[in-house]
Structure 1
Amino acid sequence: MAEGERNDGRALQASAGATTNGSTEQQQQRKCGGEKNAQALVVSEAGSDWTKRDHVGSLFPGIPDDIAIEHILTKVTWKSLCMLSTVSRGWRLAIQSRQVHRARMRNNSTRTLVSTAHLRKDNTGFAISLYDPAEFRWLLLPPIPDIRGGIPYGCGCVVLDGNLYVVGGLDDEKPRIDVYKLDLAACKRVWEKCATMRQGRRHFPCVVKDDKIYVFEPRVTFSGEVFDPQRNEWTDFGDISALASPPGPWRMTSIAATVDEEIFVHAEELYQVYNTYTGAWRQVPYPDYADEPWRHTLVVVDGQLYDLLPDSVQVYSVSTDSWTCVQRISYHFVDNISISAAVPLDGELLTLFTCFADDGVSGERLVSAAYISSGFGRPDCNLVWSRICSPFQYIMGGDFSRLCTIQL
């Protein structure tokens, strides 16, 4: 084993804390008290094709590799897989070839993790971490080597085919055209550079539709680009001038969601809706709070589009082109709440709240925190929230497309 691999293995073992079979008491401590520091993710860089013929018995002595993968490696956590990829060349090749990930997908043994962008603990830049709700654990991802601040401020973050993509952002106040991806399904730690966009963007809508990444020009034309990862290339699409009554020049935020063949994009006074099949635009009014666009957040659950308002959950009907209140929201902890991002997680919603709160030291200030809902989808009761312990400070407002779910 190379010296670097041994060191990586030791570093990960030291930071991992509890294993997959950690005690219930340890898990409860994480849930109630949180972790003071996120665990740094250290995995192997090298990757290669792995075949059963070349590595029979290379994982566990005396056990065929296909059995080891199907019946053992599908049971461990993604964090443990990252550690195992540093043990030996055979482990690394099996995991980084995605052979193990494909088996986990076949056996329905993956977990849903949530990626979120946040401030570094020393406030010198930005980072991305994964939250594992099953273990109440945060996993800090490696920085992008080309970026002085770790990841670009104002970038778009999306997940596609087991890869985390970081798109655009700011570089010394100049919009970036760069695109990077990190192959999380293969437990890699090295960011790869993809084809660059034709135009630099920051604070922009960025979504995945039909295995492609769509980005929009958020300020004037509402035109955009679409990225095909198979061909590693960007092409132009759309132009809001096709609207019968162009509303411009509205400013889009980073909030967007896909439903069927359409992409709903959050603008200043309504939703701009782009049809990816016809290339046509249409407009959908807000369900409420039309003069306060920052109070709207979109989330798609089981194919239904929801708008999370300060006091209610509204669902959109395509057939009637209208919104309906399906549930009330309760906040027992603070006033002046707005939900800045949300994703579905195990039948509930994981959200980032932005609110004014008094910390008892510096007085009232704008803060952001992560919460999980309870009772989502039950019209007979109010939607309530529980705070998720986190060692990070989040970026407030519409600066990042900050929450993504990924199966690992």
Structure 2
Amino acid sequence: MEALVPGLTDDVARECLARVPFNAFPTLFSVCKLWRQELRDPRFHRLRKSTGNAQPVVVLVQSVPDVAHHTRPRPMTYRLVIFEPATGVWSSLPPCPGLPHGLPLFCRLAAAGTELVVIGGWKPPKRATTDEVHVYDFVSGQWRRGSPLPSPLRSYFACAAAHDSDEGCRTVYIAGGHDDRKNGLRSALAYDVAGDSWKPLPDMARERIECHAVTLRGKFFVFGWRCAEAFDAAAGSWGPVEEAAGEEFCYSKTYVAREDGRMYRCLGREVMVQLEGGVLAKVAELPSEMRRARYAVAWEGKLMVMGFEHDYGFSANILDMKATTTRTTMATAAWKKVEVPPGYRGSVLGASCLVI
């Protein structure tokens, strides 16, 4: 049997490959068939995580800076920007060949394993609602076109991916939004990323527009105005989120679930974590220079919050959360300001996080 690396046992070779930075994966992928198979194997990515070599990658939908400084207003163009918390490096993803005018406005992002799924939005230059799905593969460094979003065409829908993607199951859920006539939608769908196929889910109890979603402990939570619903994938049904009763979800984009099985939120100036029994515990207050939080992403032990400074400039900070001290309180958490280069301070319309 051919070895992964001649002269080394496969276990040793695998340990070597697992230490390669994620941005070198496209180079490894092009070497040979055996390495391509290894990089596609969920066991390889579990090894990276277990040995501490997996790297968090924050992806933002961000406006392209007007480097020419045009005097007349020009339509905003959006791109995908990545931030590597481990190194502090900012860069742009390769543009999608199917989107020559930039990303659709209000498109939705979902991180599924080592792939990023871009769904729907208003496609430039005419800003027409699109059903297009585009998938970027961080392993191969390539884009591919996914199966289109089933009708009806929708905007402002909730979207989130399942967290068990390192087991080979990669599912993206969407729900709600409104159609081209501005009618609210109750319908929901699931996208199998590996199989490139959509399937309908049961309808929600009510229509939800401008909603946001997270996945947590096998459930797909959809937050709207003052109420929320959760789809239980195992039971195949929706149910109310009791602890959401009476809450204000107008800034639901700052709700985020972490792999520790907890949900975090930024409401007002407080960062809260939902503990057992729906109990909310305060983790921290927003940094003094941040006027409002707009987006949040999370990975193991960290929460990155993005928003506006008092002069409405883009601001990003990372909250380092050590461990729970009891079942109902959190240990002290500390903020670290993210240095953002001038070329990456544009307006943000979406955020997601992968651990690769």
Which band: TM-score by shorter chain?
0.7 to 0.9
Q: Is the 8 A contact 1:238 1:280 kept in 2?
A: yes
CA drift at 1:330: 4.3
Summarize the Cα distance change of 1:298–1:191 in structure 2 as closer, same or farther, 3 Å threshold.
Answer: same
Assess, with a 3 A threshold, how the Cα gap between structure 1 residues 295 and 146 changes in structure 2: closer, same or farther. closer
Contact 1:296–1:309 at 8 Å: present in 2 too?
no
Match of residue 11 from structure 1:
none
Match of 1:17 in 2: none
Does the residue aligned with 1:138 lie in a helix, a strand or coil?
strand
Q: Is 1:340–2:294 an aligned residue pair?
A: yes
**Partner residue in 2 for 1:260:** 217
Aligned AA for 2:209?
Answer: R
SS for the counterpart of 1:191 is strand
| Partner Cα separation in structure 2 for residue 174 and residue 77 of structure 1 | 38
The DSSP-based 3-state class of the residue aligned with 1:331 is coil
The CA deviation at 1:192 is 0.7
Is residue 279 of structure 1 aligned with residue 237 of structure 2?
A: yes
Matches within 5 A, 1:163-178: 163-171=115-123, 172-178=126-132
Residue 114 in 1 paired to residue 71 in 2?
no
State the 1:207 CA deviation.
0.9
Displacement after TM superposition at 1:214 (Å): 0.6
| Structure 1 portions without partners, runs of 5+ | 1-50, 58-62, 359-365
With the length of structure 1 as denominator, give the TM-score of the two structures: 0.68
- Inter-CA distance 56–386: structure 2 relative to 1 (3 Å threshold): closer
Match of 1:309 among 267, 274, 283: 267
- The answer to whether the 8 A contact 2:227-2:246 is kept is no
2:251 to 283, 294, 313: 294
Counterpart-to-counterpart distance in 1, 2:210 and 2:154: 12
Q: Tell me how large the CA RMSD over aligned residues is.
A: 3.2
**What displacement does 1:382 show?**
6.3
SS at match of 1:332: coil
Name the SS of the counterpart of 1:142 in structure 2.
coil
Indicate whether 1:368 and 2:317 are aligned. no
Residues 309-367 of structure 1: CA distance to partner in whole angstroms, max 9, x if unpaired?
2233334357x4x4423334143224x42x222222341211212x3523xxxxxxx34
Whole-Å separation in 1 of the counterparts to 2:333 and 2:262: 17
TM-score by length of 2: 0.77
1:140-151 alignment to 2 at 5 Å? 140-151=92-103
Give the Cα–Cα distance (whole angstroms) in 2 for the partners of residues 67 and 261 of structure 1.
32
* CA–CA distance in structure 2, aligned partners of residues 287 and 329 of structure 1: 23
SS at match of 2:237: coil
Matches within 5 A, 1:2-81: 52=2, 57=6, 63-64=7-8, 66=10, 69-81=13-25
Q: Secondary structure at the match of 1:73?
A: helix
Question: 1:342, 1:349 within 8 Å by CA — same for their partners in 2?
Answer: yes
Q: Which amino acid aligns with 2:16?
A: I
1:92 shift after superposition: 5.5
Distance apart, 1:283 and its partner CA: 4.4
For the 8 Å contact 2:323–2:330, the answer to whether it is kept is: no
**Max Rg structure:** 1
Q: Within 5 A, what are the aligned runs for 1:122-271?
A: 122=66, 125-171=77-123, 172-184=126-138, 186=139, 188-199=140-151, 200-209=153-162, 211-219=170-178, 220-240=184-204, 243=205, 246=206, 248=207, 250-253=208-211, 255-271=212-228
**Alignment correspondent of 1:42:** none
* Contact 2:323–2:331 (Cα < 8 Å) also in 1: no
User: Equivalent residue for 2:354?
Assistant: 405
Superposition deviation, residue 389 in structure 1: 1.7
Asked if the contact 1:271/1:286 (under 8 Å) is kept, the reply is yes
CA drift of 1:268 comes to 1.7
SS at match of 1:106: helix
Task: Report the CA distance shift for 1:296/1:224 in structure 2 as closer, same or farther (over 3 A).
Answer: closer
Per-residue CA deviation, residues 197-256 of structure 1 (Å, 9 max, x unaligned), is 11333332111136311111224132121112343211221223xx4xx5x5x4233x31
Contact 1:259–1:304 (Cα < 8 Å) also in 2 = yes
Q: How has the CA–CA distance of structure 1 residues 264 and 157 changed in structure 2, closer, same or farther, with 3 Å as cutoff? A: same
| CA contact 1:349–1:372 (8 Å) conserved in 2 | yes
Identity of aligned pairs, percent?
17
Please, which runs of 5 or more residues in structure 2 have no aligned partner?
68-75, 163-168, 179-183
Q: Distance in 2 between matches of 1:79 and 1:211?
A: 21
- Residues 282 and 340 from structure 1, CA distance in 2 versus in 1: closer, same or farther, beyond 3 angstroms? same
Give the residue type in structure 2 aligned to 1:223. S
| Contact 1:343–1:404, Cα closer than 8 Å, also in 2 | yes
The one-letter amino acid paired with 2:352 is L
Aligned AA (1:214): Y
Hey, what's the Cα distance between the residues in 1 that align with 2:46 and 2:83? 19
CA contact (8 A) 2:272 2:284 kept: no
Moved beyond 6 Å, runs of 4+: none
Q: Determine the C-alpha separation between the residues in 2 that align with 1:282 and 1:78.
A: 39
Q: Structure 1 residues 135 and 236 mapped into 2: Cα distance closer, same or farther (>3 Å)? A: same
